[in-house]
Every structure is written in C-alpha cells, then in structure tokens.
Structure 1
Amino acid sequence: MDTSAIAAALLHSSADAIIATDRDGAVTFWNPGAVRIFGHSADEATGQSLDLIIPENLRARHWAGYRAVMRTGQSRYSSGDVLAVPALHKDGRRISLEFTIVPVKDAAGRITGLVSVLRDVTARFEEIRQLRRKAAAAAQ
C-alpha cells in the first residue's frame, strides 16, 4: 500500500484531531478531526496560538512544558504515554482529551514544531465520574 495515501487518509480523517504547531505554538495544520472536536474551522485556527483550545487556568503549565520540549526535544508524551487534559470547544464548553505528541525536525535535526494527535474522551470521562459518584454514595 502507498504510504503517502495512508498518510493523506490519516491527516484528512475526522476521527481524531491532528494539529501541527510551529516552535512558538502557532497552529500550522488543523485537520477535519480538529474541526469536529473543537468547532473551529481550519481557517479560524491556522496561525492562532494553541491558547485557542487551552483553558486559561492551564496555559502557564502548558507553555512551560511546550518550551521544555522545544528546548530539549524530549517528552514522555512522544514515546507512547498519553496525556489526559481538559480543553475548550469553540462554544466555550470544556471537553476532555487524550493525546500524544511528535516533534517535527528539519534536515539538520532541529525541532521546528510539534504534531499532536488528540482524541475526545469527554463521554468516557463523564461516565467514569458518574460511576465514582454512585460508588461513593453507596459507600456512605
């Protein structure tokens, strides 16, 4: 099978969000999955800061981690670990995400940005929260 066809199919899928950013955290690629999950069109998101989808109270922590990855090229979330975080939909509601990141490097091996693959796990997160509430209520 042609690997470029596989790559195109993944990048243009609406199942998961695939977002690429430059070294400064500005969006350079926003696939149909990102449109579905976050509600912003590709035109609205491209060129914008990731603050577009990061809750205000988490931005400082996010940017500290982002800068560390840009500086070191290392992140446990680029080697298979999944990060679970809240995010913002265009309409203002909070959603729950799980994601991984992949550093993008130039020909000289310098990091030029990141690609993130994100999945909306809001329904599962809410279901777990309700089950915990029921278990706590039953234990009382």
Structure 2
Amino acid sequence: MTDFTIPTGKTRRNATSIDQLMNESMKRKLNRIVAVADRESRKLSQKERERREAIAETIDEWLGFLDENEEVETLKAFFIQIELLASAKNRRRIAGHPLRPQEGVEEVVAAELARRAAERGRAQCEKEAAAKATDAAAETDTTTVAD
C-alpha cells in the first residue's frame, strides 16, 4: 500500500504515516474498496470495447449496403467526414478502404484541410498582431509615464 503521510505538526519529522493510523480492519476495508473500484472500471472498459466492436461491424455492413445500392454520394460524404476527423496516419489507412469511392473524396478532403490550415495561419497571424499591438501600447504607456 502507498505510504501517504499526514502532517501532525509543523515539521516533516512529526509526520505520521496513514498505515500507522489505520488498524487492520480499516486496511481490509480500504483494500476492498480499491478492488471493487478496479473491477467496476474493468467492466466499463469491457462494455466500451464491445460497443466499439458493434459499431465497427455495423458500419462495415452499412457500407456494403450502400455499395450494393450504388449510393455513391452517401459513401463519398461518409468517407469525407471521417477522413476530415482522422489523424493523418488514420486518414491514409482509411483511404485504402476497398469501398471508398476513388473519385471526389481525396480532392474534397485535401481542399478542406488546406482551408483549415490557412484559417489557422490567419488566426495565428492575427493573434501575433494583437500581441504586438498590446506590447506597443504598453511600451507607449511606459514611455509616457517616464517623461
């Protein structure tokens, strides 16, 4: 068990270990609480894994359904959306999906990513310009006070 200390005085020399304050019954109860919390956490993780697997399996079936019914625009929209949300590494993986339409998706994704990058660049420039203006105003105030 981790040795936590509880300050009992003004100096560290007077600190008392939690283990010293707890009797055996309290230690068993604390260990039981930790074990229950651990078990509940594992159950939640298991449920989350199962939920993710169910979604993944259903999406594969749905994509197959869209492909069979030649709903190319819906497939394009789906792949565009998930590729825009994905990291660059996952975007490359998704691009290799056999049901991903080869035409139209990559161009839209590239254009949107370029637009977002330009927007981030503009926002950064505006932020830097505002910081410079604030610094210049502070410099002017300091100069005026000094005179």
Name which one, 1 or 2, has greater alpha-carbon Rg: 2
Q: Which has the higher strand share?
A: 1
Q: Which has the higher helix share?
A: 2
Q: TM-score under structure 2 normalisation?
A: 0.20
Q: TM-score under structure 1 normalisation?
A: 0.21
